A and B are shown apart, each in its own frame.
Chain A
Amino acid sequence: MRLSVTENKVVICFQCQKELQPIKTYLSYLGHSFYAEIPKCPDCGEVYISEELVKSRIAEVEMQLEDK
């Protein structure tokens, strides 16, 4: 499962004050587990998923898994 993620705008982890980087992150749904490169704080691991991504690729993958 691939979730290609391109976040153009800079986002910063509030606690670590570090810029989030695309880092391999595990996701799961309906018993399926997979990973994607998602903006993540390199120190504490705080993640960010934009509404744009949720409404597009994530919704698509969810639908595919529901129909699988």
Chain B
Amino acid sequence: MNLETKTGNIQDCLQNQAAFCTAACPFGLDVRDFIEKMQRGAFNAAYRLYLNTVGFPGIVSALCDQPCQGVCPRRVTDEAISLRRLEAAALNYARNTEPNNYNLPPKNKKVAIVGAGLSGLACALRLASRKYDVTVFEHSNRIGGHLWEKLPPEVFLPEFERQFMHETTTLRLETEVTSLADLPFDAIYVATGAGGNDFGLVSDPNGAFASTTPGVFIGGSLTVGNTSGSNMQALADGLNVVAAIERYLKVGSMNQPRETLSTKLTLDPARVERSEPVYPADGLAYTRDEAILEAKRCLRCSCDACVRFCDLMHYFKKYPKRIAEEVELTIHPGTLDGNGTIATRFISTCNQCGLCKEICPMDIDTGEFLLQNHRIMREKGAMPWAFHDFWLRDMEFTNGSAAQLARKPAGTVQSKYAFFPGCQLGASAPQYVTESYRWLLGQSPDTALMLQCCGAPAEWAGDEKIHAEVLAQLRENWLELGQPTLVFACPTCKQKFGRYLPEIPGVFLYDLMFAAGLAPAIAGDGETVSVFDPCASRDEPELQQNIRQMVDLAGFNRQPLPLEGKQAACCSWGGQVSTTNPRYAREVVSARITQNDLSYVAYCANCRDIFAVSQKPVYHILDLMFGLHGPNRVPPTLTERRNNRIRLKAQLLSEFWEGESPMEPEKSPIKLTIPPEVRQKLSDDTLLEPEIARVVEHCERSGRKIQHPESGNFSGHLQIGNLTYWAEYHPTEDGFVLVRAYSHRMSIDEAVSDRK
């Protein structure tokens, strides 16, 4: 396998795309940042950001024609954010509006600026603050150029005064420059305004503000013309040309193209809630409170669909690019101790539900990215075995002789269908499978049966070798049955077959039931329920619709859930993350079951049982169709789930293949009673009762046990596979009662410790 980190299309992530307003702003003002400061009343901080971006805040906040308003998503819902008023508020309420005084050594370069309009002065201000020797030539007797036509001089003249207060520049008024060749300067910026002298310069399209004459730059209204908004563009040019001039002064090149801001951001207008615009009560300017209120209307547009929808990204507050970086570091850890493997648990905490791709405007499939890298980690042996050990053993059990079965009905030559209930349906309640199979046989008497696991646990564990073995076995059994169409009860099984065994055709049991017009056995009597779509049904709209119709037919009312259909969310089972990150899994369950107080109808046995364990009333759709259980059925423990699979195979064999008797399960030589509360605790801790019985048996047979004098209990341990199990138990007349059991992942190195 290629051990390179697989990054997919995560580089397309829009997380850092500019907000619409920022992309439209001639200065590229970071509005998200500005607004964040304004929202918390940090006027001074907002002002500094604004000052550094626009050069002359007093002029821009008075004159800007606000192209941002034409792109603000609020303009459709209510009214665009009044950014200019907010900028004026920042200026009005800033503690300190003085410019920064930079203490830098003078630079030994002389720059001439032709034209003392807005663009020329902006350029002069920036260059002077960087301590270049700047001379501004102006043919008239005043500075400001076209500003005189747009603003009262008492607005802009003091602003020039203020911003230049710490800078030294030479201003040559009434000095007509007739030829650039005569100017003894290292670089020249020509900003003579609309209709001004262009000295016959030709713009060089290859460089920002470059002319074809070395060292001479042009910009401002001279190039953009005197149009609406040209003042602001001219000012922005004056600020932006500085980078081009400095590059020329340092390295002599003028071929760096101009940077233009754009954005690929998209925003669903439906997400914009109405919010009344704030107008200044005095008709002129915002008060502090008004400014904060208006700032709070701002959506601070950014692409955050993934962190809002995906449980994993939401819980860890991480965007795909950050995830990709951390995964890269984890797969290729550096040499310093502790700087790698930061994402090991994270990689294994993904539910693999597919919602991230569904809601991402760029179709970034972070889940698939994590799965691919999970496989790399597994291949490297860098993924802790404990994360998936139990579930791989559970799959092995399901596919082993105690529970596995692939049969055609006796005497059948060719089966059109084979029922594939999946490992969890019969584990939840064997009747789900027996009733369904009986019904299928009634429809199509040659229907075969496959009791087997689809391999999802191996996929989720990232174990390609085991996965391939499971898939090969499935394919072989399917071929032996004569290549029937599989009838799935579990959307995950169908999804996995579709991906890994696409040659095997499949349909849903529930679609067949609906098509056959099977009448539900339960009467809902107008009870309102919500259908919980399992995440694996995301791309099965027909199934989702049929389930809803079956629920309607049963006489229930339905209330939709916020996340359903294409946006179905995981119940927490996916990826079998509960061992890796139990707290996260609990959070996911809680988020899913608190969406409303109604009973759910699920059509995935795992969704049903996981929610039911947390006291949520949930019907399985088969409860409705066959009248099997109410919504409050207590789900079986992990041990009971295994026993149910054994029982299911036995029942099916005796009912449909008379004379066949299943293997008798091994009887333990000791009698261990497990009280109900201890049973549930074992299940919660992912412990199986037969394993604990083996510990007690080992202790009793070997005599290797500990005595607790106060309680009269015994304790002992046994390592089975990777895990070390402990049991504390009390002897009774004819056996033992289990008091507690627990396990740990680290192993006791008894051989070494005995040497002491």
A residues neighboring B (CB under 8 Å): 9-15, 20, 23-30, 33, 35, 38, 40, 45-49, 51, 54-55, 58-59, 61-62, 65-68
Contact = CB atoms under 8 A, between A and B. Distances in A.
B707 A12 contact: yes
A26 B756 CA distance: 10
Contacts, number: 97
A48 B715 contact: yes
A10 to B, nearest CB: 6
Interface stretch (B143-151, B156-164, B747-755): B747-755
Contact of A28 (B344, B717, B740, B747): B747
Closest 8 A/B residue pairs (Cβ): A29-B746, A26-B749, A26-B752, A25-B753, A66-B384, A12-B707, A45-B754, A48-B706
A54 B742 contact: yes
B584 to A, nearest CB: 13
Interface in B318-352: 338, 341-342, 344-345
Nearest to A1: B746
17 contacts: A10-B710, A11-B715, A14-B705, A15-B703, A23-B756, A24-B753, A25-B748, A27-B746, A27-B748, A27-B749, A28-B747, A29-B746, A38-B748, A61-B746, A62-B386, A62-B744, A67-B345
A54 B749 contact: no
Nearest to B699: A14
Nearest to B704: A46
A26 B338 CA distance: 23
A14 B714 CA distance: 8
B314 interface: no
A12 B706 CA distance: 6
A23 B704 CA distance: 18
A66 B579 CA distance: 12
Given A14-B707, A46-B706, A51 B748 contact: no
A48 B689 CA distance: 21
Given A28-B747, A54-B726, A66-B344, A40 B708 contact: no
A68 B707 contact: no
A1 B530 CA distance: 51
A24 to B, nearest CB: 6
A24 B756 contact: yes
A19 B704 CA distance: 14
A11 B708 contact: yes
A67 to B, nearest CB: 6
B745 interface: yes
Given A26-B753, A51-B740, 17 more contacts: A12-B709, A20-B706, A25-B748, A26-B749, A27-B749, A29-B746, A30-B384, A45-B754, A46-B704, A46-B705, A48-B715, A49-B726, A55-B742, A65-B746, A66-B344, A66-B386, A68-B338
Contacts of B744: 49, 54, 58-59, 62
A55 B384 CA distance: 19
Nearest to B705: A14
Contacts of A11: 706-709, 715
A42 to B, nearest CB: 9
Contacts of A30: 384-385
Contacts of B715: 11, 48
B384 A47 contact: no
B713 to A, nearest CB: 10
Contacts of B714: 14
Contacts of A55: 742
Contacts of B708: 9, 11
Contacts of A28: 746-747, 749
B726 to A, nearest CB: 7
Most buried by A among B384, B740, B743: B384
A51 B708 CA distance: 14
Give the secondary structure class of A's interface: mixed
B704 A15 contact: yes
Most buried by A among B338, B341, B744: B744
Contacts of A58: 744, 746
Contacts of A33: 749
A19 B715 CA distance: 14
A25 B754 CA distance: 8
B709 to A, nearest CB: 6
Contacts of B756: 23-24, 45
A13 B344 CA distance: 40
Nearest to A19: B709
Given A48-B715, A49-B717, A62 B745 contact: yes
Contacts of A27: 746-749
Contacts of B747: 27-29
Contact of A14 (B385, B706, B717, B752): B706
Contacts of A13: 706-707
Contacts of B707: 11-14
A13 to B, nearest CB: 6
A9 B385 CA distance: 34
Contacts of A68: 338, 341
B706 to A, nearest CB: 5
A47 B740 contact: no
Contacts of A48: 706, 715
Contact of B748 (A10, A20, A47): A47
Given A9-B710, A62-B744, A51 B384 contact: no
Contacts of B341: 67-68
A30 to B, nearest CB: 6
Interface string B685-709: 0000000000000000001111111
Contacts of B742: 51, 54-55
A20 B740 CA distance: 20
B344 A67 contact: yes
Contacts of A40: 753
Nearest to A52: B742
Contact of A51 (B709, B726, B745): B726
A24 B344 CA distance: 31
A20 B703 CA distance: 16
A35 B752 CA distance: 10
A23 B385 CA distance: 29
Interface string B370-387: 000000000000001111
B686 to A, nearest CB: 13
A62 B753 contact: no
Contacts of B710: 9-10
A33 B750 CA distance: 12
Contacts of B754: 45
Contacts of A12: 706-707, 709
Contact of A62 (B342, B706, B746, B752): B746
A65 B383 CA distance: 11
A55 to B, nearest CB: 7
A62 B386 CA distance: 10
A9 B712 CA distance: 13
Nearest to A55: B742
A32 B716 CA distance: 24
Interface string B382-406: 0011110000000000000000000
A7 B246 CA distance: 72
A40 to B, nearest CB: 7
Contacts of A9: 708, 710
A48 B742 CA distance: 12
Interface string B715-749: 10100000000101000000000001011111111
